[in-house]
A and B are shown apart, each in its own frame.
Chain A
């Protein structure tokens, strides 16, 4: 699989945007500009960017509660994302959903979800619809290690495999489901082992390596597009921050050994990829700076947009409950 320099830089750009976006929203959360719950995926950007780059425009994605980066990688507008996080009318869901419910159907981003595992069967249904209609689109279904213990995961994988639905299951194994380490919540190390039980290929990869993510997803997409059915990809990764903002483990060791956090921070996917690109001469220090500045500028614009946007009108509490 050959990648052009443009493609590589684009992946890098998405990773930087995701990182800067999340750093900023964390700040805004503590400044009480963003209400509700906020889950950052800082440290997991390679997954979002690798998947985003592998998708064709018609392809779709479902995400869980940790998906700002996926939205950015799928081409969503950071302005409308930020506005949604600010609970403003101009946000993707009119301020009624928030971070846990970001969605933009036009971009093929079918929704973050607050029910862990809840969107896994949706991905199968969407992919089934694409199969029935012959659109050629494939859906990538992202979820966490914790979600792989939900009944919905097992039921959805089973159905997807017997119906050969064009879906790619992508498990972001960041080694914890909230505060519970993987070894306490399942007796296997590689979640991809579960693929065997559903008769589909399963593969475990380094989720901090954007190129490995890209290549693996690309292959699974091709397979699904050909009608050969689903794949389960498990990507090992790590979130640098707490489960959600406000998680006391962020400042005081509660459930994650500090050495473990340091070990994974040393494998920071953004830094690693940047180093690789530099070493291979794909990018100069100036370009790195320019990409960073551009990302910051876009995010500042997004914040200004969100700040200046109106709140939803009170009457909107009662819209979209049903179709008109």
Chain B
């Protein structure tokens, strides 16, 4: 099969969905002529024109708010917020409106919108351009949060997100944009809310999403040499997360490590860890351990930046601490 980057996979999904459904439209800062700051929307404006691919002013609150309105009116807006850090600028529109409109208006309409945004550390971009933002949103029922780790997953999940009738926050890790993988040319969907075993194992479950999946896979390879067989569970969707895949994996391995790049305190790992403890405390051989970023902003200095986010070595160490 053909190999393409995650960025290309996202771009292809956007092209194919716009082709398939004329209610899909794309807008955001620099997405039209420029094709997006990272290039995810390249070519769309040429192909679909001004009407369906729009550059917006620097106005994130209006971007998200207009996505809400357009969705209420039956379109399928796909808005881009350039960096996840800027989601704060449109937080109200997402939290108080996108996530609740259907509920508080008693299901009178659907909210089929997608907000795509680039997240994560690694670009030396400093405290306001490097954050992992999922926990800002996980406590907001009414939103789906999708977080792919591979080009294949990104394409299938983005297509599902666009076709879904609920508001979806689609997170793209910047350091994965150039990551390559096999992706079919034709459109396909991956169900929202379904995780995937990225590497089977029997001694410990390493539960991760986005960039940390790849670190978990590296860690699993290292652990393999040391006689520990790690199963890597890629959640792929953060909300609603795949409870079954976690239960199945951990009932087999009886040990679990949860990994994410967001700060540890109040991070999503706390939810997963509690879930496992609630469900299968008496089956566990060891308490669930979290590997996450330190509780601090992401510093600009490269050494410091690398220090605060979790490393493969941190995962290896955490796994070993369970035996």
Contacts and interface: CB of A to CB of B under 8 A. Distances in A.
Do A and B pair up? The answer is yes
B278 to A, nearest CB: 31
Interface in B99-130: 123-129
A311 B300 CA distance: 12
Contacts of B89: 115, 150-151
A97 B304 contact: no
A321 B297 contact: yes
**Which secondary structure characterizes the binding site on chain A?**
loop
A36 B124 contact: yes
Interface string B218-229: 000000000000
A178 B300 contact: no
B1 interface: no
A115 B297 contact: no
Contacts of B61: 151
B29 A180 contact: yes
B86 interface: yes
A114 B86 CA distance: 10
Contact of A150 (B30, B58, B127, B303): B58
B251 interface: no
B21 to A, nearest CB: 26
Given A36-B124, A150-B59, A151-B59, A255 B33 contact: yes
Interface-centre pick from A87, A100, A185, A317 (highest chain B CB count, 10 A): A317
Interface residues of B, number: 36
Interface string B79-95: 00000011011000000
Contacts of A318: 294, 296
Given A117-B58, A150-B89, A179-B34, A95 B304 contact: yes
A317 B307 contact: yes
A184 interface: yes
A112 to B, nearest CB: 10
A316 interface: yes
Contacts of B59: 149-151
A147 interface: yes
A63 to B, nearest CB: 14
Contacts of A2: none
A17 B295 CA distance: 39
A317 B308 contact: yes
Given A117-B58, A179-B33, A96 B303 contact: no
B304 to A, nearest CB: 5
A309 to B, nearest CB: 12
B57 A312 contact: no
Interface in A108-124: 113-117
A35 interface: yes
B58 A87 contact: no
B304 A35 contact: no
B49 interface: no
Given A151-B61, A179-B30, A316-B304, A36 B127 contact: no
Nearest to A88: B301
B315 to A, nearest CB: 19
Interface string A296-324: 00000000000000011010111001000
Nearest to A36: B124
B34 A36 contact: no
Contact of A149 (B33, B57, B123): B57
B165 interface: no
B17 interface: no
A185 B123 CA distance: 28
A177 interface: yes
A153 B58 CA distance: 11
Contacts of A146: 57-58
Contacts of A254: 33-34
Interface in A122-151: 146-147, 149-151
Contacts of A184: 55
B304 A101 contact: no
Contact of B296 (A100, A113, A317): A317
B300 A35 contact: yes
A186 interface: yes
A37 interface: yes
B85 A36 contact: no
A94 to B, nearest CB: 8
A185 B55 contact: yes
Given A150-B89, A179-B34, A95 B299 contact: yes
B58 A147 contact: yes
A98 interface: yes
Interface string A16-45: 000000000000000000011100000000
B126 A101 contact: yes
Interface string B121-149: 00111111100000000000000000000
B57 A180 contact: yes
A178 B126 contact: no
Interface in A166-193: 177-180, 184-186
A97 B60 CA distance: 24
A266 B181 CA distance: 48
A311 B301 contact: yes
B37 interface: yes
Nearest to B55: A180
B301 A95 contact: yes
Pairs A-B, 6 closest by C-beta atoms: A114-B128, A98-B300, A149-B57, A35-B124, A36-B124, A185-B57
Interface of B: 29-30, 33-34, 37, 55-62, 85-86, 88-89, 123-129, 294-297, 299-304, 307-308
6 contacts: A88-B301, A96-B304, A100-B125, A177-B57, A179-B55, A255-B33
Given A96-B299, A114-B129, 11 more contacts: A35-B124, A87-B124, A100-B129, A114-B125, A146-B57, A180-B33, A255-B34, A312-B301, A316-B299, A317-B307, A321-B297
